[in-house]
Structure 1
Amino acid sequence: MAFQGSEGLEEQLEEPEDTLRVSPAEEMPIDGPPAVGDPEPEPLLLPWDRFSSWLHCICVVGFDLELGQAVEVIYPHHSKLTEKEKTSICYLSFPDSNSGCLGDTQFCFRFRQAAGRKSSLGCFLEHFDRDAPVSLKKDQGYYYGYVYFRQVRDKSLKRGYFQKSLVLISKLPYVTFFHSLLKLIAPEYFEKQEPCLEAACNDIDRWPTPCPGKILSLPIMGVVMKLRIPTCYDKPGTSQLVQSTPSDSQVSIILPTVHEVDLFRCFHPVFFHIQMLWELVLLGEALVVMAPSPAESSDTVLALVSCISPLRYCSDFRPYFTIHDSEFKEYTTRTQAPPSVILGVTNPFFAKTLQHWPHIIRIGDMKTAGEMAKQMKVKKLKNLKTLDSKPGVYTAYKPFLNKDEDIIKQLQKGVQQKRPSAAQNAILRRYFLELTQSFIIPLERYVASLMPLQKSISPWKSPPQLRPFNQDEFMKTLEKAGPQLTSRLKGDWIGLYRQFLRSPNFDGWFRNRRKEMLQKLEALHLEALCEEDLTLRIQKHTEVETVDLVLKLKEKLTQAEKDQLPVKAGTLAKLQAHIDTIILTLPEDLQGILHKPPSP
């Protein structure tokens, strides 16, 4: 995984010739995935299937003086939400009354999906999910809600205000894309009501499915959005910008990203502490963000989650959290340590109920250079008592790594010179990426060494086992092949690794890597089997043994297609040819039985 400033990295990654290695998905070359058999045809899509591949539904949430928030419309009308899900959407779709959000505001939330309900498009969407980066895979067990809230004075209403939210409910974490989509749909909806919503949904149902790596043109409300969803084969830190072409006369909006938030804008109030915040997120520590509005709360939580990219944040996170949430009691109890979660809140009530949390970030406006200077010190938790507490980071945490003064000076200089926000964001994103890569490369290298030697793979034996992860053995590798090869930062790297190995983020990362390596072993075993002369082999077999071999090979073929094993092009076709050839050596009655496709 080479990147600027990675001197010594090439020597670190040299390997014995016969050792099997698996590149993590994030490190694969940008020119595309490994060949996986023959390309699958896109399944036959029914009405609303294309819509469902992007969105679960669209909700309109209004405010009734007697009932409070209520879901007024769900579209398409056949979309299903449980009463608990509707209640969550109602409360999370409105800013807290203290936020004072007049006009239009956008934010996002995340809530638990009701247990036991599965999408009918599950298998179909998994096909696309495989090529997505780990941080962009659809969210198992959770929905995202993307909100466009309007609050304007209206004397004709009892309350004196018009208050309504248009909410997109989706499994996809494409925050930038969905906010851009809402900017097109919501103002039209507030003006023209439901017929406009129906037209938008019909537009979405004609979109191509959200396939990573393809340039997608999405017509909506008379304009065309053009974008590209990243793939797990893209090189981290690079963005394949979508270019306009002469044939794009209709394209109105080109999105440079579908999911990235502006890191510098989010971290500006606390940017003296970005390195410590990176450590807290990496280790899965309990964090709460207290912000003046749901927009700032949700953006900051999403920025925190993305600062360890390309690692996936594997704990729970709630970009906007309210006292009505079903997890409220679980998260505010003082009888046990807070769980591994990042919460974004706006209600001042949380300043009291979450006082016992170990790490609190207060976001507020930074108006003067003097105020910025005050942010340099980490504040003590006991000082977080009142509503008027100053912005900053409140924690007793002592970072493992020494502070990187260079990045702080670089960003400060940018503020003084009024460097464009996009440039500041790019600098910060690059910094986080290199820091995460320096941390993860030694783990990647060690885990790759757990693969068996290629010569140990025999077509006539089960694939060899991976060696188990040994923490002490890994720690010994850090002396010669640790992060010091790619990072200038000093500090207690060993302590940081020990803590990380106990975190949900390590558990999630290692499970994913182990699954990739096991699939690689299965693929190599399949390829070795295809290189054998099976017709010669079965000459020594009895009829029963030959039938048994056919059944096992058919099972392997079915599993390889289901798991999308990373085999060489043509391998699955070759295996099918082997099966057909062996079947022809058997009596006709058996041939007829074995040629039948397996029952689903």
Structure 2
Amino acid sequence: MSPNNDKETPILPWDHFSNWVHAICVVTFDLELGQAMEMIYPADRELTERERTNICYLAFPDSNSGLMGNVQFHFRIRQCPQSMNAHTRPAIHTYNSNCPTSIQIEDGYLYGYVYFRQVKDRTLRRGYFQKSVVLLSQLPLVSLFTAVLELVAPEYFETGEASLEAACHHLDQWPPPTPATTLNLPLLGTLIQVRIPSRQDKPGASSLTPPSPTHTMSGPPSVLIPTPHETEAFRVLAPVLPHLNLLWELVITAEPLVVMALSPTTAANTVQTLVSLIAPLRFSGDYRPFFTIHDSEFREYTTRTSAPPNVILGVTNPFFAKTLQHWPHIIRIGDNNTGSPSTQKHKLKKASALKTVEQKPGVYTKYRPHLQADKGLVKRLLKGVQTGRPVEVQSALLRRHLLELTQSFMIPLERYVASLMPLQKNISPYKAIPSLRPFNPDEFLGTLEQHGPHLTSGIRGDWEGLYRRFFRSINFSAWFNARYQEVSDKLAELHLQAVCDADLGGWVCSRSEVEVVDMVLRLRSKLPRAASLPPSHPARDKLTQHLHTLFMALPEDLRAVLHAS
């Protein structure tokens, strides 16, 4: 992503709003049309017909569970190319540059945060009031927008459209979503305090402290959201806790996975939690926290003519039990998801067993984990349940374990990629920028005995086999491409510095015209990079001086040719 370079563009209406939210929609159930979009705010927000249709179906629970009252969940959809912005907003570029890669905005996707209400109403022909408020955003800040809707939706159901308009105007006053900054976000008489994590943060830490009692008494009521991107990991994963390492392996190798649950809340939170298992590594496959049979990509994901795609789906409709029974990995969550692990109910079963016992909770897979399960962690967490340890503390323990596991896996890879970078002494201003040595899987695996995960993790198993599987996954290719780009940018920066420090005045005296012209062309190719540096950066003037020196050393006819080219 690159920002829109037009720095003189004036701030337009809804600019601040758009840094956080794309639009807020109201979806109702029409007796003749089914789900229908009743309104969209602000009214100028464009959605294609396909996007509207997907949002309408995803705004309602897709099951026969008879959910009554209020239900919150979220979904993720692919945007149509014509509705995507041509330029990245400066605030979004800043967000992506500073937040952890695992929660970066991804071009082409929108999140929908849903507050659905179903209550009996005899005045309606259908007998029920069924309506959803849907907040659309590019930001994957699940806890934050869940809290936002807890304020906005009930107010809308109580007082109508005017409250929605007021909420949007409050959102338009919010500062940009800047990582590493404590943000105070006023909304409908409540102050939301949030801190988006920064990639410079110590992993697993949160520096957001509760407001002082005196501030709370004198000001508006406060809502504190220390981790706006996270779900309550322990509560969500409790039913499948004994299979934690297995699930981590499936996610890090981007295996096709489907979560079958009775409610969209459970399905969506489970998928979102699974995706975060490998943080700080970014999950680069597709994922749909809530997916319905009406989705425009339904056929793409349910066809049996090709292997299932690298996607994690969350579903509730019983129809999926038959449609997706050919998928290699299936998690079925039972109805007693109360936050206490139930090792008896959620057992590991072969994938083929799903055909005969479709209703039994469990993890259905033929996958054999490469690593041994950490039974000590499960024991600590079960003891925490018995002693009444708070869910937040249980979740922190769980996430710390997963973070350490991912770091143990990735540190040897980071170290090996660093070794592929040429030494600084080999960066010459008179030669082209040196490139990285190619990634050699066998060479990397040969380093494991001396620098492998066993140095930082107590977990034993076939690490080499897991790495080989990881190398075939989209997570590896996305990670490596990003690291390759970072290292290439660093090399270009070092080379630019070497060129600026070089004595080209002395060098040009003993060079042929061909060599001088070649150097001129090389320096010209660096001008765009230098132009992107701050105006005060010495490289900008130095390059211009070098080019002038080289030009003056060439005959007049060659200068004219170079000026014209």
Instruction: Report the TM-score when normalising by structure 1.
Output: 0.84
> Residue 111 of structure 2 is aligned with which of 121, 144, 164?
144
> Residue 507 of structure 1 is aligned with which of 463, 473, 477?
477
> Residue 443 of structure 2 is aligned with which of 447, 470, 473?
473
> Residue 573 of structure 1 is aligned with which of 529, 537, 543?
537
Corresponding residue number in structure 1 for 2:364: 394
**Residue 60 of structure 2 corresponds to residue 90 of structure 1:** no
The residue identity in structure 2 corresponding to 1:358 is: P
Cα distance between partner residues in 2 of 1:474 and 1:273: 29
Provide, for residues 358-379 of structure 1, a one-character-per-residue CA deviation record: whole Å limited to 9, x for no partner: 1110111348999924246412
The residue identity in structure 1 corresponding to 2:500 is: C
Offset of 1:576 from its aligned partner?
2.4
Q: Percent identity?
A: 55
Corresponding residue number in structure 1 for 2:252: 282
Provide, for residues 341-366 of structure 1, a one-character-per-residue CA deviation record: whole Å limited to 9, x for no partner: 11000001111111111111011134
The residue identity in structure 2 corresponding to 1:576 is: R
Cα distance between partner residues in 2 of 1:490 and 1:460: 49
Corresponding residue number in structure 2 for 1:30: none
Provide, for residues 207-240 of structure 1, a one-character-per-residue CA deviation record: whole Å limited to 9, x for no partner: 1111222222222212222211112222222222
Offset of 1:387 from its aligned partner?
7.8
Provide, for residues 457-493 of structure 1, a one-character-per-residue CA deviation record: whole Å limited to 9, x for no partner: 1223221111000011111111211111111111111
**Residue 144 of structure 2 corresponds to residue 180 of structure 1:** no
Offset of 1:105 from its aligned partner?
1.0
Cα distance between partner residues in 2 of 1:215 and 1:43: 27
- In structure 2, list runs of 5 or more residues that go unmatched: 1-5, 553-565
Offset of 1:151 from its aligned partner?
1.0
Q: Does the 8 Å CA contact 1:261/1:303 hold for their aligned counterparts?
A: yes
> Residue 63 of structure 1 is aligned with which of 13, 29, 36?
29
Offset of 1:268 from its aligned partner?
0.8
Corresponding residue number in structure 2 for 1:486: 456
Offset of 1:51 from its aligned partner?
1.3
The residue identity in structure 2 corresponding to 1:315 is: G
Q: Does the 8 Å CA contact 1:550/1:579 hold for their aligned counterparts?
A: no
The residue identity in structure 2 corresponding to 1:575 is: A
**Residue 71 of structure 2 corresponds to residue 101 of structure 1:** no
The residue identity in structure 2 corresponding to 1:229 is: I
Q: Does the 8 Å CA contact 1:275/1:403 hold for their aligned counterparts?
A: yes
Cα distance between partner residues in 1 of 2:219 and 2:524: 49
Q: Does the 8 Å CA contact 1:363/1:392 hold for their aligned counterparts?
A: yes
Offset of 1:389 from its aligned partner?
1.8
Query: Quick one: structure 1 residues 338 and 89, their matched pair in 2 at CA, closer, same or farther if it must change by over 3 Å?
Result: same
**Residue 77 of structure 2 corresponds to residue 111 of structure 1:** yes
**Residue 281 of structure 2 corresponds to residue 311 of structure 1:** yes
Cα distance between partner residues in 2 of 1:160 and 1:561: 65
The residue identity in structure 1 corresponding to 2:116 is: F
Offset of 1:52 from its aligned partner?
1.2
Task: Please show how residues 309-348 of structure 1 align to structure 2 within 5 Å.
Answer: 309-348=279-318
Corresponding residue number in structure 2 for 1:241: 208
The residue identity in structure 2 corresponding to 1:226 is: Q
Corresponding residue number in structure 2 for 1:154: 121
> Residue 158 of structure 2 is aligned with which of 159, 167, 191?
191
Cα distance between partner residues in 2 of 1:156 and 1:223: 34
Q: Does the 8 Å CA contact 2:238/2:340 hold for their aligned counterparts?
A: no
**Bigger mean CA deviation after superposition, 389-398 or 496-505:** 389-398
Offset of 1:132 from its aligned partner?
1.6
Provide, for residues 113-156 of structure 1, a one-character-per-residue CA deviation record: whole Å limited to 9, x for no partner: 10244315515222431112111111222111011111111111
Alignment RMSD (CA, Å) = 3.0
Instruction: Report the TM-score when normalising by structure 2.
Output: 0.89
Corresponding residue number in structure 1 for 2:175: 208
Cα distance between partner residues in 1 of 2:107 and 2:505: 45
**Residue 393 of structure 2 corresponds to residue 426 of structure 1:** no
Cα distance between partner residues in 2 of 1:370 and 1:317: 26
Corresponding residue number in structure 1 for 2:486: 516
Cα distance between partner residues in 2 of 1:463 and 1:321: 47
**Bigger mean CA deviation after superposition, 60-69 or 217-226:** 217-226
Q: Secondary structure at the match of 2:342?
A: helix
Query: Quick one: structure 1 residues 584 and 522, their matched pair in 2 at CA, closer, same or farther if it must change by over 3 Å?
Result: closer
Cα distance between partner residues in 1 of 2:397 and 2:315: 28
More RCO (CA 8 Å, sep 6+): 1
Q: Does the 8 Å CA contact 1:351/1:387 hold for their aligned counterparts?
A: no
Corresponding residue number in structure 2 for 1:225: 192
Q: Secondary structure at the match of 1:122?
A: coil
Query: Quick one: structure 1 residues 355 and 226, their matched pair in 2 at CA, closer, same or farther if it must change by over 3 Å?
Result: same
- In structure 1, list runs of 5 or more residues that go unmatched: 1-39, 565-569, 588-600
Corresponding residue number in structure 1 for 2:558: none
> Residue 79 of structure 1 is aligned with which of 45, 50, 53?
45
